[in-house]
Amino acid sequence: MQKHRLNKCLVVGMAILLAGLAPSPNLGSDRPSSDKQAMASAEAAAKPGAESHDPIATLQQQMALQEKQIDQLQKALVEQRQLLEQALRAAKPAAAAEQAAPPESTSLGEVASTSPMIPKGLTKPENASAPPAPATLSARTAKPAKSEGEETSPLQLRVGDAYITPVGFMDFTSVFRTHAAGGSIGTSFGSIPYGSSVYQNNLSELRFSMQNSRIGFRVDADVKGAHVIGYMEADYLGNNPANVAVSSNSNTMRSRLYWLDLQKGHWEVLGGQTWSLITPGRTGISPLPSNLFYSQNIDVNYQAGLVWGRIPEFRLVYHPSKKAAFAIALDSPDQYAGGSSGGPLITLPPAFNTSATYQGELDYNQNGLNAPNVAPDIIAKLAFDPVKKFHFEIGGVERNFKVYSPATSTIPAATFSAAGGGGFLNLNFELFKGFRVLTNNFWSDGGGRYIFGQAPDLIAKGDGSLSLVHSGSTVSGFEFTHKGTLLYAYYGGIYVGRNVAIVPVSTTSGTPPVTTTKLTPFGYGYTGASTAQNRAIQEGTFGFNQTIWKDAKYGAVNFMGQYSYVVRDPWSVASGQPANANLNMVFFNLRYTLPGSAPTLGK
């Protein structure tokens, strides 16, 4: 359009010249005096009644005047063209900025959702390990998120009105343990080797692995006035074949997260496999991994004492303001009797210790999908973020259990029920710049399932009725960030209460046979119980996470280290045996994180 106008000006100017229009009175005001004199003579000769002594001289003077006018018009046109070009150059950045910044846009979260420490947008080194700012899921989508000086990630894709952001990272992990605890890069805290004569306590172990590498995607879209997020994440810590470590090391992919979240106004609904609502939050109430606390540990089983789960869940959240949120959730239930991830098993009375009785009705030694469940677990949480540097949350879980006891010679058939639950209180705050203090605490009656399965939920009494096991835990410590460096230290502790049922047990022996009846303890934590039945598990950890480089277009590279000391104390220790079991662990990890950040959607 500007070019068209410029050409039009040129055409008009040429028409003026050809028509021999008289010059503007103020043209040539800055000409040399000789030019002025020549033009004055020509003008005087052209006036009516002027006396002309030489017609040829008069004509030459008029031609000289027109040449000067042409020069002046050409100079004026050049100046106008330069002014127009300058105006166009100035207008282009302003128009681009206006187009790139939709009104009231809001960032939706962290890069690739990987570890809580990965910086937002992979931009500024000084923010490399900073805890994420509160992120709401109610932002609108329209354009890729851009902060000042940041370029859009090339891995954010738009399909129709939806945005797809790849998430994930590639890990190379090494772990050294002073005792052969078995397994892989995840620690089974409740079953670290015990006893002086076992080979595990006389050998160390070293492993390399890529199993913690993750891959997934996030989808953002606006649908009929509501903001929708779909999230999927997987890793390679699945059930591996027996020969996985021999040649190909073909680790099995497994699901971690797969959920859909919808928010409209103050209300939010989520359904799918997610970090359970009981998992401690870093800020607000959010299913996004970057907004949750599951430690900075390299250990894929995190920290002993952490309360968490990745469980199928239906969640309803109310956000009355940016500083408060309340949520209630229904989690897929599990009647847990022990045996998961090194957790101890309860001892069942003889009448119920078969697969046709309580071994089949309870999740006994990882029998979860066969165990019946009477009702979902109900979890509620209230969270406050009065200021950016302070987060507080309180809540609880309600659980229900039910079994069927078949008839025996001494016990009639019956069903038995029990209800239990627990409460939690979590807090984190920035004491001074970059230094964050945190504590997460849980106490329960039948809530051991949520302490990484390191405590059973219940025991069975002699008549078949159920009795819940008390258990509690804490993870407390600090995280300190400075530029691209994160330092952290945690103490994690688990306590499992004793719960004993005294059952009369009859035995027959001798000739002639003689039957004797003896009162025998069963349950959890009784004298003479297996050393696998723990009273306490404690872990002290410190570590670092160093950002080597990062770029919004290319991702980030981090180098990490972790040292942990774990102690477990059984309830019953035989004479001459050690009082506890202990383990030293050192982890190192090299991580490449994919670029990509959640879109910012403008209204």
- Note whether 344 and 465 are same-domain residues: yes
- Note whether 85 and 145 are same-domain residues: no
User: In the listed set 66, 100, 134, which residue is the last one of a domain according to the structure?
Assistant: 100
Distance of alpha carbon 466 from the chain centroid: 38
Stated as kind and residue range, the H or E segment containing 399 is strand 390-405
pTM for this one?
0.77
The tokens describing 100, both together, are 């790139």
Domain presence at residue 111 = no
Please tell me what DSSP assigns to residue 291.
Answer: G
User: In the listed set 35, 65, 100, which residue is the last one of a domain according to the structure?
Assistant: 100
Under a CB-based contact definition with an 8 Å cutoff, are residues 145 and 108 in contact? yes
Residues with Cβ within 8 Å of residue 369, at least 6 apart in sequence: none
Domain presence at residue 31 = yes
pLDDT of res. 154: 56
Under a CB-based contact definition with an 8 Å cutoff, are residues 119 and 129 in contact? yes
Q: How many CB atoms lie within 10 A of CB 202?
A: 11
Domain presence at residue 522 = no
Residues with Cβ within 8 Å of residue 195, at least 6 apart in sequence: 201, 531, 577, 578, 581
Residues with Cβ within 8 Å of residue 302, at least 6 apart in sequence: 294, 295, 308, 452
Under a CB-based contact definition with an 8 Å cutoff, are residues 78 and 254 in contact? no
C-alpha distance from residue 219 to each of 227, 267, 423 (Å): 11, 19, 34
Residues with Cβ within 8 Å of residue 531, at least 6 apart in sequence: 194, 195, 570, 572, 573, 574, 577
Query: Is residue 514 helix, strand or coil?
Result: strand
- Note whether 74 and 134 are same-domain residues: no
- Note whether 55 and 148 are same-domain residues: no
pLDDT of res. 93: 52
Measured between alpha carbons, how far is 455 from 336 in angstroms, rounded to an integer? 9
CA dihedral (435, 432, 110, 149) positive or negative = negative
Domain presence at residue 87 = yes
Measured between alpha carbons, how far is 399 from 557 in angstroms, rounded to an integer? 43
State the CATH number of the domain containing residue 237: 2.40.160.10
Measured between alpha carbons, how far is 189 from 211 in angstroms, rounded to an integer? 19
- The DSSP string of 119-171 is PGGG--TTBTTPPPPP--S--EEEE----TT-PPPTT-EEETTEEEEEEEEEE
- Note whether 83 and 42 are same-domain residues: yes
Domain presence at residue 517 = no
What is the average pLDDT value for the chain, to the nearest integer?
Answer: 83
End-to-end CA distance of the chain: 31
Domain presence at residue 106 = no
- Note whether 215 and 124 are same-domain residues: yes
- Note whether 226 and 342 are same-domain residues: yes
- Note whether 302 and 394 are same-domain residues: yes
Classify burial at 410, counting beta carbons within 10 Å of its beta carbon; exposed 0-12, middle 13-18, buried 19 or more: exposed
**Residue numbers in the chain where pLDDT is lower than 70:** 1-53, 90-154, 597-603
Please tell me what DSSP assigns to residue 337.
Answer: -
Under a CB-based contact definition with an 8 Å cutoff, are residues 563 and 540 in contact? no
Q: How many domains does the chain have?
A: 2
Please tell me what DSSP assigns to residue 450.
Answer: G
Residue 582 phi/psi, 5-degree rounding, is -140, 160
Under a CB-based contact definition with an 8 Å cutoff, are residues 192 and 592 in contact? no
pLDDT of res. 144: 45
- Note whether 46 and 194 are same-domain residues: no
Domain presence at residue 254 = yes
Residues with Cβ within 8 Å of residue 586, at least 6 apart in sequence: 175, 176, 561, 562, 563
User: In the listed set 38, 66, 100, which residue is the last one of a domain according to the structure?
Assistant: 100
69 lies in which domain range?
A: 2-100
- Note whether 130 and 26 are same-domain residues: no
- Note whether 46 and 149 are same-domain residues: no
Domain presence at residue 502 = no
Q: Closest by alpha carbon to 150, among 602, 558, 550?
A: 550
pLDDT single digits (tens) 42-62: 454 445 444 445 777 777 777
HSE-up of residue 119 (Cα within 13 Å, Cβ side): 30
Measured between alpha carbons, how far is 267 from 326 in angstroms, rounded to an integer? 10
Q: Closest by alpha carbon to 13, among 98, 74, 56?
A: 74
Under a CB-based contact definition with an 8 Å cutoff, are residues 118 and 593 in contact? yes
pLDDT of res. 508: 80
- Note whether 353 and 462 are same-domain residues: yes
